[in-house]
A and B are shown apart, each in its own frame.
Chain A
């Protein structure tokens, strides 16, 4: 039993305000305050968002839904957005983004996690994360929103791309969205179809909803569509060009949808969200890449042959730096997404949230850094 019951956590947030002010002005060290607070309750922190795992249930063979109860520092989010979730593995804090499939009236959140075989985070979460455990949550992002005015909505998902779309769909139907909605979910095998029972129940309750699955793997299943995304899968939907389209999945899938969309020449809305492409293999021939600077909100053209420091300086920026040879760590910066190459060792770094040194890191593909 903890000194402070979980139920009182949201209340504490207000009481901690004076401490927060002292920490912000450098009079107290946040980690020291957090250590005391954690003694009262493992979920109590000054600023950091901690969430308790309230429930877990399997929604597909390789997908687990988690219900999380965040502490009082949670600032809320919309279904369809994604939240950064942190765990520690082998001494390293790892962050991954997961889409919110539901936001409860009681402040609880629901996310779904698909197993990435060979991944460092999802297999661990699926197998070892127990009800009652505490996780840290980070920033909330994502621009996907429900096209409220559209005469029809087409949702195209592949793999775990179902999660943000399901979040949006649930809340739209709950709010009485009445225009026709078609959800098409691409998975490799029959067992990977996620939220089948829930989707079928929604279909039974809402006559305007139609759900279909397409199998891209080898197995034959006569009830489902076959193969990767193709225009023929959309037969029987009516005038597709009038539908607002939301698409989410791996970069290849989203790209195929965008091509089809352009060929269609539709006037309606298209929203897409692609997962970060997997790390590139170490090919060292010169390649043009895109460099996004998160803090200064700039996108620069760059290449993979010179350090990030040299390249941003060539664009007129003046980031903090020192020795320019990887000794002093003055130019340390956070990697938001993408892959960089350590120019001294050739090692590839792709961990979101990782600290990298601009002077010895070259972009390996499109990269976003906290600058």
Chain B
């Protein structure tokens, strides 16, 4: 179903392609300053406003307008915190500010998975080996088959069901990725090796559940409010965040036009080739400024993958130049509306649940 029409680039062209993107990166880096710092602080303030006002409104119990608005605000706060603030800060996009609050190496986000896990599975593995089968575990997260190149297993037959479960519990699915339970199950990783990770995971989970499902409901009880309404509001907020982040993230690399790569193709890879792979393996979503902020600017997935450490608010401007460069080098620039792109992802989930039809040996 992939009908990309990309021009093959010679090694010299790849180098020139890489140099152009490097120059673009340098220009943006040199321009970072006051406005970028003010922006991320405003996002941080918006997160606080949404979360605190949402939690405040939930204290009014089941009264539909306050309960619904409270849950939505809390969900919005969590979405902003995970996407535009947490994800981007964890990439070190704001390290140049030297502000400990926005330091990628120490930020801890409001989600089940410890930041340490994410820094490895996402920043390192996924961003270095984007869409390389067998190296990038984000391709289907081990439960979904999205590309014909992935080996089929009987388990994939029910993948629409697995994906639905994954969407609902997305934060946990992302969190346990780092535990490599599949390797433990197969005996490739010893229990002793996983134990410290599980301990770290449990500690984070305890804090998250303690805050959302224990502390605030108990506080409601103490204030004479409805604890159950608070609990339900927190569940809804987390669910909304899970569904939204799942949708955005699955649109990033699994759309119709997204390419996957073999392990062999990345041996001794040049910087230009790495750039090219990021461009071919990622897909953008069209939308307005608010939409881009809500996706943490992952709607500019291509730019994010080319420049993971540049502040995400710059991606919209970078996209204009990247699109132009891609065109000059004869590369398809994969962009579409959220629903169109998401529909192609769903199509992949549906199609590739089935085993490939064995080609006849004689037909070669």
Contacts and interface: CB of A to CB of B under 8 A. Distances in A.
Contacts of A29: 108
Given A26-B207, A27-B207, A355-B95, A329 B309 contact: yes
The A interface, classified by DSSP as helix, strand, loop or mixed, is loop
A355 B108 contact: no
Choose among A88, A322, A329 the residue with the greatest number of B CB atoms under 10 Å from its CB. A329
Contacts of A357: 92
Nearest to B105: A332
B113 to A, nearest CB: 14
B87 to A, nearest CB: 12
B119 A330 contact: yes
Contacts of A26: 108, 203-204, 207
B99 interface: yes
Interface string A327-371: 111101000000000001101000101110100000000000000
Contacts of A328: 119, 123-124, 127-128, 308
A327 B310 CA distance: 11
A326 B25 CA distance: 13
Given A32-B48, A332-B105, A354-B98, A92 B37 contact: yes
A148 interface: no
Interface string B42-54: 0010001000000
Bin the interface of chain A by size.
Answer: 20 to 34
A35 B48 contact: yes
A93 interface: yes
Interface stretch (B26-34, B179-187, B314-322): B26-34
Interface string B71-101: 0000000000000000000011001111101
B212 interface: no
B99 to A, nearest CB: 5
B120 interface: yes
Nearest to B210: A27
Interface string B1-34: 0000000000000000000001000100100111
A332 B92 contact: yes
A326 B105 CA distance: 14
Contacts of B119: 322, 328-330
B78 to A, nearest CB: 14
Given A91-B36, A91-B38, A325 B92 contact: no
A253 B22 CA distance: 42
Nearest to A344: B22
Contact of A355 (B44, B48, B96): B96
A91 B22 contact: no
Contact of B124 (A35, A330, A353): A330
A90 interface: yes
B101 A31 contact: yes
Q: Which of A88, A95, A326, A332 has the most CB of B within 10 A?
A: A332
Contacts of B364: none
A347 B30 CA distance: 10
A345 B36 contact: no
A322 B128 contact: yes
Contacts of A327: 123-124, 127-128, 274, 308-309
Contacts of B22: 344-345
A329 B38 contact: no
A323 B269 CA distance: 12
A94 interface: yes
A354 to B, nearest CB: 6
A92 B48 contact: no
A194 B22 CA distance: 48
Given A26-B207, A322-B120, A325-B128, A351 B33 contact: no
Contacts of B91: 329
Interface in A274-302: none
Interface in A27-58: 27, 29-32, 35
Contacts of B211: 27
A103 to B, nearest CB: 26
Contacts of B120: 322, 330
Contacts of B34: 90-91
Interface in B218-232: none
Given A26-B204, A323-B128, 6 more contacts: A90-B33, A90-B34, A327-B128, A327-B274, A329-B123, A354-B96
Interface of A: 26-27, 29-32, 35, 88, 90-95, 322-323, 325-330, 332, 344-345, 347, 351, 353-355, 357
Considering the complex of A and B, which 7 residue pairs feature the smallest CB-CB distances, nearest first? A91-B37, A322-B124, A329-B92, A355-B95, A328-B124, A93-B98, A323-B128
8 contacts: A26-B108, A35-B48, A92-B97, A92-B98, A95-B98, A323-B124, A323-B127, A332-B95
